[in-house]
Every structure is written in structure tokens, then in C-alpha cells.
């Protein structure tokens, strides 16, 4: 018998394609990617403009990034998955533990004051913390899709808050980001990601 999770998985894509079901009923994946790109660009502007001394980078903020960026396109925007997911040989956090694992990550982040006071500390220290938390969220992979983009946007807002430019990932190939992610998910090792962030972090 098909499980609830399998059914959810299957109904995610337009039948027989790898195009996610979407509110605009777009079936062409290139057009959909273009729209996702535009929505992300708009969201970067909106969330950047909204940054203030009161901004708290808590779990609600993170979920809101996903929801507000993509809710015009996807029903599941801003909602955590409760089914298991893998990419390649990497198995992300089990669906049943996404909520509790996320809470733990954001509780830890709260103890670090949501990384809100790194403006005057060393860049190396900041990159280490950013990589640690980014690694944790990569391994969590809490949404069905668009995790990479939303995770990077979250940390771009954190670094902006601290007076830095958005993290520049253009010095690496996409495959190197995946390699660093594999280290995070399979080996809980964030050293590769830390190097990437350190090189891309500038005032």
C-alpha cells in the first residue's frame, strides 16, 4: 500500500514530469525557474529593506522567508516537510524530526544572539559561526524544494545586519557548494563550507 508520504511526494510534481505543481499551472520548467528567480530577487529587496535593529533571525523569520518569497507560486511555501528526503547518497533529517531538529538549531542560534553582534568581531570568527549554522540547516533540508536558495538568503540577511555585503558564492562552482553540502549532511563537517563563506564574506 502506498504510504501517505509517497502520495505526498508523487502529487508534488505534475504527473510524469519533474515540474512542481504550481498555482500558475506552469508546465515549462524553464519558465518556472525564471519566475522563481524573479520572486527571489524581489524577496531579497523586500527583506533587505525590512532589516532593522529589531530584526530577530529566529525560526519564524526563516519560515517566513520561504513562505513570503514563494507563496504566490506554491501551496507548500513556508511549510516544513514531514516525509523523508535524500539527494545522491545524502539523507537529510528524517521527516518525523524536522520540527524538533529545527527548534534545536534555532534555540542554539538564540543563545548566539541570532549572530546579531558580529559587526566588530573578526571575519574569521563570524565565518565559522555562519558555516556551522548553515551546515546544520543544509542537513535539516526542512522544505520540499528551494532549501538552498532560502538558506543562503537567510544568511545573506544575517551578514547584512552585521554590515557585510551578501555572501559571494561566485568564486566557486555550484558543484563545490554541493561537495561542501555533502560534507555537512554525511559527515557533519563544515570546514569546506567555512572556507567558501570566508572567501565570500566582505564588507
Ligand X SMILES: Nc1ncnc2c1ncn2[C@@H]1O[C@H](COP(=O)(O)OP(=O)(O)O)[C@@H](O)[C@H]1O
What is the nearest approach in angstroms of ligand X to the Cβ of residue 147? 3
Query: CB 184: neighbour CB atoms within 10 A?
Result: 23
Comparison of 149 and 192: residue with beta carbon closer to ligand X: 149
Cβ–Cβ under 8 Å, residues 115 and 126? yes
Determine if 102 is a binding residue for ligand X (CB under 6 A).
no
Three-state SS letters, 88-141: CCEECCCHHHHHHHHHHHHHHHHHCHHHCCCCCCCHHHHHHHHHHHHHHHHHHC
Comparison of 57 and 154: residue with beta carbon closer to ligand X: 154
CA atoms of 170 and 39, how far apart (whole Å)? 20
The footprint of ligand X on residues 134-173 (CB under 6 A) is: 138, 145-149
Comparison of 83 and 116: residue with beta carbon closer to ligand X: 83
Burial (CB count <10 Å: 0-12, 13-18, 19+), residue 53: exposed
Binding characters for ligand X, 13-52, by CB under 6 A (x = yes): ----------------------------------------
Of 141, 155, 138, 161, give the one whose Cα is nearest residue 200. Answer: 155
What is the nearest approach in angstroms of ligand X to the Cβ of residue 181? 3
What is the nearest approach in angstroms of ligand X to the Cβ of residue 134? 9
Determine if 88 is a binding residue for ligand X (CB under 6 A).
yes
CA atoms of 34 and 17, how far apart (whole Å)? 18
Comparison of 138 and 196: residue with beta carbon closer to ligand X: 138
- Residues found near ligand X in the complex (CB under 6 A): 87-88, 90, 138, 145-149, 177-178, 181-182, 185
Amino acid at each position: 500500500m502506498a504510504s501517505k508520504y509517497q502520495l505526498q511526494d508523487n502529487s508534488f510534481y505534475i504527473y510524469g514530469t519533474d515540474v512542481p505543481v504550481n498555482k500558475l499551472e506552469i508546465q515549462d520548467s524553464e519558465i518556472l525557474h525564471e519566475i522563481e528567480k524573479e520572486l527571489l530577487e524581489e524577496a531579497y529587496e523586500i527583506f533587505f529593506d525590512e532589516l532593522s535593529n529589531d530584526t530577530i533571525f529566529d525560526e519564524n523569520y526563516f519560515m517566513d522567508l520561504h513562505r513570503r518569497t514563494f507563496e504566490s507560486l506554491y501551496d507548500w511555501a513556508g511549510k516544513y516537510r514531514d516525509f523523508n528526503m535524500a539527494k545522491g547518497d545524502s539523507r537529510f533529517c528524517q521527516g518525523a524530526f524536522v520540527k524538533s531538529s529545527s527548534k534545536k538549531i534555532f534555540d542554539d542560534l538564540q543563545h548566539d544572539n541570532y549572530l546579531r553582534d558580529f559587526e566588530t568581531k573578526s571575519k574569521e570568527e563570524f565565518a565559522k559561526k555562519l558555516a556551522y549554522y548553515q551546515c546544520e540547516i543544509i542537513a535539516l533540508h526542512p522544505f520540499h524544494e528551494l532549501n538552498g536558495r532560502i538558506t543562503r538568503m537567510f544568511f545573506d540577511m544575517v551578514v547584512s545586519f552585521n554590515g557585510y555585503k551578501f555572501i559571494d558564492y561566485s568564486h566557486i562552482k555550484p558543484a563545490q557548494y554541493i561537495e561542501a553540502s555533502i560534507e555537512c549532511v554525511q559527515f557533519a563537517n563544515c570546514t569546506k563550507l567555512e572556507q567558501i563563506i570566508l572567501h565570500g564574506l566582505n564588507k
